[in-house]
Structure 1
Amino acid sequence: METVREAFRDECVRLETVLGDLTAADLDRPTPCPPWRLRDLVAHVRTGVGRLAGMLAEPAPPAAEVDAVSYFGAAKFTPEVDRDRIESARREGAALPGVPAMVADFARAWRATDEAVTAATPDRVVRTRHGEPMTVTEFLRTRVVEVAVHGLDLADALDREPWLTPAAARVAAAVLTGGRPVPDALGWDDVTLLRKVTGRAPLTPEEITVSGTAGLGGLSFSG
């Protein structure tokens, strides 16, 4: 749990710093997750990092049934669910009053989750918005993946070098690869790994063969 919390905090603190440097014009930049503008993607990330605080306020299910890997492996993004996810972020993005308020809102969200996790036991079970019972630790791993991968999307939208933190890279890679070792033949660094396994960078024919043999891919992480 402490390793995952460190990764979550590191990546959220780094993103909070980046957001604080934005201009009002930056908020309307297009992103690699159309039709979202940058303000919409930030709103989506803010919602994602803040979910766990509310989940911990609800009664605990009797037992966990999924882990972080199976959470992303399930085909949960039906057209209806995906449409609601996209439109919700657009509504929240349109309501953002400006950069300072956006940064404060993001900071409140992730810190509320961090405080709630501090008061919970690692094996405390929560229920996701999709109805899946998971332990706090496993769900927090999914939050690290969300903020790390969408951090790459935000960096692309801002024409900046990715700011992926080492702790978050380790946690996200372990989830997105299902804990399988990445073959040396692929030669991927942390950023490339996250881009490739989430479909944000195309695979070459050789990479398709090598990664398929290694059992990588097949997760349903969606913009």
Structure 2
Amino acid sequence: MDPFLPAWAALRTAVAELPDEDFERPSGCAGWLVRDLVCHLVIDAQDVLITLVTPATGEATVDAVTYWNVVEPPTGEDPLDALVPRLAAAYGEPRWLKFHLDDVGSAAARAAGLADPAARVGTRDEVLTVGDYLSAYVVEWTLHHLDLIAHVPSAPEPPAGTLAAARASLEKIAGVVFPAPLSDTDALLIGTGRRPPTGAERDVLGDLAARLPLALG
């Protein structure tokens, strides 16, 4: 489950240290403010808790790589995506969002630390080991950490180890290799369409540029 716990701890710490005014800034998720993204993280933490207490029988159907699919980029029309900003607004003050994320997020971290990595769990109509499930979530935590700090330059970046792990996972998921001159952060941001490549980066990407961005679902 390494680097699941460091990635999740770093993201929760970054949220906890945000000044209240930063919750009204845009996030790296199109159409979502930082407060909306934090609300989404609460839902993610709940999903982790639910999955870790949903044992499954039979052979694994996916692993940490095949858990993810490369899908069409989001259109903003997904009903759940539209629900999140309304739910986030209902919290009112940022301190309540911080409290809920700390409460549920800490529980998710404890559950992950106690879980047997070889045990099988069920989620999204699939079966996979706990270890693979938690490894898959490193991509989620790392991308959302980058989303959190997209317009909050004072916030801490994700740990180098989790950035490297997320890049490696994205390359395996999409069946591509990002050029070495691209940093892990730039590979993740450009690869998932969180920012367009510069002219120089497009030259470095070569034919790969035409396959980007990659949306995960």
TM over 0.5: yes
- Please list the CA deviations of residues 194-220 of structure 1 after superposition, one character each: whole Å capped at 9, or x if unmatched: 11221123244434425479xx86743
Picking from 137, 147, 160, the partner of 1:143 is 137
Picking from 164, 168, 171, the partner of 1:174 is 168
Matching of residue 41 in structure 1 with residue 5 in structure 2: no
Matching of residue 9 in structure 1 with residue 11 in structure 2: no
Other-structure match for 2:83: 88
Distance 1:200 1:10 in 2: 23
SS state of the match for residue 71, structure 2? coil
Distance 2:13 2:4 in 1: 14
For 1:157-196, list aligned pairs within 5 A: 157-160=151-154, 163-178=157-172, 182-184=178-180, 187-196=181-190
Q: 1:205 to 1:71 in 2, by over 3 A?
A: same
Other-structure match for 1:53: 49
Matching of residue 209 in structure 1 with residue 206 in structure 2: yes
State the aligned residue count: 212
Report the AA paired with residue 203 of structure 2. Answer: E
Q: TM-score w.r.t. structure 2 length? A: 0.81
Residues 31, 154 of structure 1: 8 Å contact kept: yes
Q: 1:79 to 1:144 in 2, by over 3 A?
A: same
Distance 2:87 2:73 in 1: 20
Q: 1:151 to 1:208 in 2, by over 3 A?
A: same
Residues 44, 89 of structure 1: 8 Å contact kept: yes
Other-structure match for 2:216: 221
Q: 1:57 to 1:105 in 2, by over 3 A?
A: same
Task: Please list every run of 5 or more consecutive structure 1 residues that lacks an aligned counterpart in the other structure.
Answer: none
Deviates more, 1:108-117 or 1:70-79: 70-79
Distance 2:213 2:21 in 1: 37
Q: 1:125 to 1:207 in 2, by over 3 A?
A: farther
Distance 2:207 2:70 in 1: 23
Residues 32, 153 of structure 1: 8 Å contact kept: yes
Picking from 82, 96, 99, the partner of 1:101 is 96
Q: 1:147 to 1:72 in 2, by over 3 A?
A: same
Q: 1:62 to 1:92 in 2, by over 3 A?
A: farther
Q: CA deviation at 1:72?
A: 2.2
Distance 2:141 2:48 in 1: 14
Question: Aligned Cα RMSD in Å?
Answer: 3.0
Residues 39, 96 of structure 1: 8 Å contact kept: no
Other-structure match for 1:73: 69
Distance 1:61 1:88 in 2: 33
Other-structure match for 1:117: 112
Distance 2:75 2:63 in 1: 24
Other-structure match for 1:32: 28
Residues 11, 158 of structure 2: 8 Å contact kept: no
